[in-house]
Chain A
Amino acid sequence: MLVGSHTWRHLRLISANWAGSAVRSGSGLVFLLIALVFGLSVAHLVLSPVEMLMRQERSQGRQVSRAEVVERIVEAGRPVVRWSLGVKTEVQEAETSPAAPDPFGRSAAVRRDPWSSFLLDERPALLSVIFLILLFGMPFVISFLAFNQFSGDVQSRGLRYLLLRTERGNIYWGRFLGTALFSTAVMAILIGTIALYAGAKIHIYSAGAMALWSVHGFAALAVLMLPYLAVCTWVSAMIDAPFASLVVAKLVIAGVLVFALVGKLAWGPAVYFKYALPWGVQNHLLHPEWSHVLGAVAACLGYAGVFLMLGHRHFVRRDL
């Protein structure tokens, strides 16, 4: 398909207009507020025990060493990280079963669970824990931004003013792009705030390590938002009532995970239902091996591409 210069111009105009409309109409501000409240609450939950620990130690006249604090963080964070990565059972097995000594002197847990060790030992553990929780929680928040890309304008027929001035495809992709740009900007604000705060208050990790890992975390979140945004875009292109669109988007995003987790209790293979959305691959965005990270990025883009194409197919054919 040839894409003319006017198409690029329209995509640019529509995406910028839509991002501006998201702020003006309030849905963007609501998303910004919810995302910041959620993200900063997570950061607070993770950072405050460390701050408290350091304060306590200082008040008792003890000078806590950096290594000691890191060790305590790692010990506290390890169960959360293992649970998030789904390696709990495997590690527990490794810790309880006798193992041959490692030629490099690594513990059984590290050998069996290099992923957790990477996140907790090789990268700033505080940020790793925050990123993992955000990767889990942000898909539920993103629908507040993306549920009304088309629903409201189809219901109010406001979209009709645009339909004779550009192609339907430009409206569809332009609005998705605007939404994606807006969500990316919000993620940047959130991660930037967390990294600055953590860096300023807790002098445990080097600035370089914090900055690099923050950039990785931001990129992971930005990529992860795309497939969930795409689901919301598809739903919004199908359902005319904004509230119904929001409810359905939330039900789909949460329902897939709940069905997989609850379903596997009754029927083991039901757990694979989580692959209907990126739930099964998204943590690999923080994997120690680049091949896994790139695979997860490709999977997220693939999911986003499929959902967007399905939504586009419906949007260009439907009555508006």
Chain B
Amino acid sequence: METAISIKGVSKRFGRIQALDTVGFDVPLRSIFGLVGPNGAGKTTLFSVMANFLKADGGQVEVLGIDTRRIGELRGRLTIFPQDAQFQRNVPILDQLAFFRRLDGRTRQQAEQEVIETLQLVGLEAMAKRRVGTLSHGMIKRLGIAQAFLGHPEVILLDEPTAGLDPANARQLRDLVKRLQERATIMVSSHNLAEVQELCDHLAILHQGKLIRADAMDKITQSGREYDLVLSRPLQEREVKQLRRLAGVRDIQAVAANGAGTAGELAGYRVTFDFSADHADPDVIRGALFRSLLDAGISPRQFGEGRSLEARFLEMTGGVQAGGIADQEGTS
């Protein structure tokens, strides 16, 4: 596996707060790598160290084989969408982004052409001549993302890219990130675990500045892979017991329409698989479940990926929700 980013024992302290504690993992080339953790876990700090905004107290980061302390050597190859960074309010969008591109060696004309093309990716081309101060919060967010996509970066760091975006724009951004995977390694931090699970193929979980786990998404979720299942009719108690006895099926829980147990109207079932056993083939295990259902005369109406990552995340962080700790990253 080729490595795009190598993080080796990075530590960073802000006063009494240990923001990062010897964090280390590798990000494979051309992967979409998720970085999750509660507020204050150290995600933004880690991104800031990776981009050399912050100087690490210990350890080092290599991007494309170059120590980020020599960040100048990565000019044009590494870009970032930094969280909460503001553009100049009184300067037109086109001028600001074209200036960045001119620093990469483009002429004014080339730079402006590339900026327009990039703004088209995030649906802001009509706003090119407008000043940043006239844009909405969501538009400014998309502008920051366009800035990160500008040029032909090989590694893109996106810090909370979809926070504050409406669902349609968030979806558009996820699609764009997936398309860019063909030519770039993308690292995304997010509180939205469902989004990370859908988007990312690799994942690192941070908690209180420490790395809890870094691995391929499948490996992290396979011991408790959840799927949402809607059937043609409710299962009887006996049928549930039978299904639970199938190899690889760990649990089946009824889910009410309001999402709280079975007290309300039944919406479907949450099936938890365990694909971690040696030689376990997810397709075979899922196929066995469907056969049993069909044999019992029950038709599956819907079957989709559930919140496996959220379940694993809660397990690993001791029940802390992704956005559940007061923000301690203000200093980062």
Contact = CB atoms under 8 A, between A and B. Distances in A.
Interface of A: 6, 9-10, 13-14, 17, 21, 24-26, 156-158, 160-167, 317-320
Contact of A13 (B75, B76, B86, B103): B103
Interface string B75-112: 11011101011111011000000011011110000000
11 contacts: A13-B102, A24-B88, A24-B91, A156-B86, A157-B85, A160-B51, A161-B147, A163-B52, A165-B75, A167-B72, A319-B55
What's the dominant secondary structure at chain A's contact region? helix
Nearest to B91: A24
A318 B79 CA distance: 20
A96 to B, nearest CB: 61
B55 A162 contact: no
A10 B103 contact: yes
B85 A161 contact: yes
A164 B99 contact: no
Query: Which 10 A-B pairs have CB atoms at the shortest separation, nearest pair first?
Result: A157-B85, A156-B86, A160-B82, A165-B103, A160-B85, A24-B90, A319-B54, A167-B72, A158-B86, A320-B53
B196 to A, nearest CB: 23
B324 to A, nearest CB: 25
A186 B52 CA distance: 36
Contacts, number: 66
Given A160-B80, A164-B80, A319-B48, 20 more contacts: A6-B105, A13-B99, A13-B102, A21-B88, A25-B90, A157-B84, A157-B85, A157-B86, A158-B86, A160-B51, A160-B82, A161-B85, A163-B52, A164-B75, A164-B79, A165-B76, A165-B104, A167-B72, A319-B53, A320-B53
Contacts of B75: 164-166
Contacts of A10: 103
Contacts of A6: 105
A48 to B, nearest CB: 38
A161 B82 contact: yes
A310 to B, nearest CB: 18
Contacts of A13: 99, 102-103
Interface in B233-252: none
Contacts of A9: 105
B311 interface: no
A14 B85 CA distance: 19
B74 interface: yes
